[in-house]
Amino acid sequence: MWLCRCGCSKDKPFCDSSHEAAGFSGERRVCGSQDAFKDYPGRVLTVHDNRRICAHVGYCTAGAPGTFRKDERLWISAEGDPPVVVKQTISRCPSGALAYSENGQRHEERERPAGVSICRHGLYEVVGGPGLQGQVESPPVCTEHCTLCRCGESANKPHCDGSHREAGFRDEKN
């Protein structure tokens, strides 16, 4: 099957070739040098982050607000919440932008059956480690899961960057 990436299909989530009339480009509009891989070390945990592929779902700021501080210049503090809370919160990150190491040991990703979930008025959530083919310049911190754009507006295609909210993307079927 072919899934719509332009956001214009009349048969969402499936592609109906509307991208041709819409002039859709799957090209990334930000350069790879703008990837924002950064480590935030703490006594027990080191939080690994790539802001460029964040889908801005908000699980991190809601789940561990002392660690993931959206209004702070240094937005991650590995010491802001108990380690168990930070680890649980990172495990909910759908985009693969967040990962952690504990006592210097990188946390291995969980194994799940491969699949794609369609989020209403939002993104595709990919789990289970299927590899992306084609030009993917901004790899997730985790390779077991990621979020993909389905509104056509992300500047970091094929990854979702949360643009569907600003674009008012709607999919009444899902």
Q: Is residue 29 part of a domain?
A: no
Domain count, the chain: 1
Residues β-bridged to residue 159 = 148
147: its two tokens: 């979020």
Distances (CA, A) of 155 to 11, 38, 54, 78, 141: 24, 20, 12, 28, 18
The residue written with tokens 């592609």 in the block is 15
**Tens place of pLDDT per residue across the chain (174 aa):** 899 999 999 999 999 999 999 999 887 776 655 556 899 999 999 999 988 888 989 999 999 999 999 888 888 999 999 999 999 999 999 988 899 999 888 887 777 888 899 988 889 998 887 666 555 555 556 678 889 999 999 988 888 988 998 999 998 776
CB 99 within 8 A of CB 106: yes
Q: Is residue 115 part of a domain?
A: yes
Q: Is residue 3 part of a domain?
A: no
Q: Which domain holds residue 126?
A: 36-174
Q: Is residue 1 part of a domain?
A: no
Rounded to two decimals, the pTM is 0.80
